[in-house]
Amino acid sequence: MHTVKNWFSHSLAGQALVVFVLGMGFSAVFRRNDHPGLWVVQSLLYSVVIIGVLAAQRRRTARATGADPRTVVSLNRRIRHGEVPRDPEERAMMRRLVDDQLGKMERGGRWLPYWLGFMGLSAVGMLVLGATTGSLVFPLVFTVAVAAFCLWILWMRRRAMEIHHHMRSALRDPS
């Protein structure tokens, strides 16, 4: 399992395969009446767009840290596990990566209340529509799912910020 997980985290081809299969599945479920060839074309289009965005993000992060994309993946794993490298060059790359990711999270935090508010409004809108049509089961499930998703986003953001702040302070201390 460990090698498969590493392959997916290091390989854009593995990630493209997962996106393609998931896209096919969603197309098959939500577009049952369409031709299966259309499912393949749509899934391929989704895969190309998503992998293009991922590759651009990887390149940008690699340039910001001064490391190749494989090293960035390895450094991210070490950040998640709280491992501080002993090599000064690797410490400098990790410090730049931590600073880059903290900057992204802090900039993204400005828009977080608006996104959460939009999600809350859509959940309330679904409840209102359900109340007017007389069917509350789906709107209640949707509202609970949106609330759980919003809480999960807040928890993951807080956890990631704590990990990155801890790593920033650990990388500054010469030990």
Confidence at residue 142, expressed as pLDDT on a 0 to 100 scale: 93
Q: What is the pLDDT of residues 33-86, one digit of tens each?
A: 889 899 899 999 999 999 999 889 888 988 888 888 888 888 988 999 989 988
| Encoded amino acid at 124, one letter | V
What's the whole-number average pLDDT of the chain? 90
CB atoms inside a 10 Å sphere around CB 142: 16
Confidence at residue 98, expressed as pLDDT on a 0 to 100 scale: 94
Share of the chain above pLDDT 90, in %: 55
Q: What's the rounded Cα separation, in Å, for the pair 1 and 40?
A: 28
| Contact between 75 and 94 (Cβ < 8 Å) | yes
| Contact between 148 and 119 (Cβ < 8 Å) | no
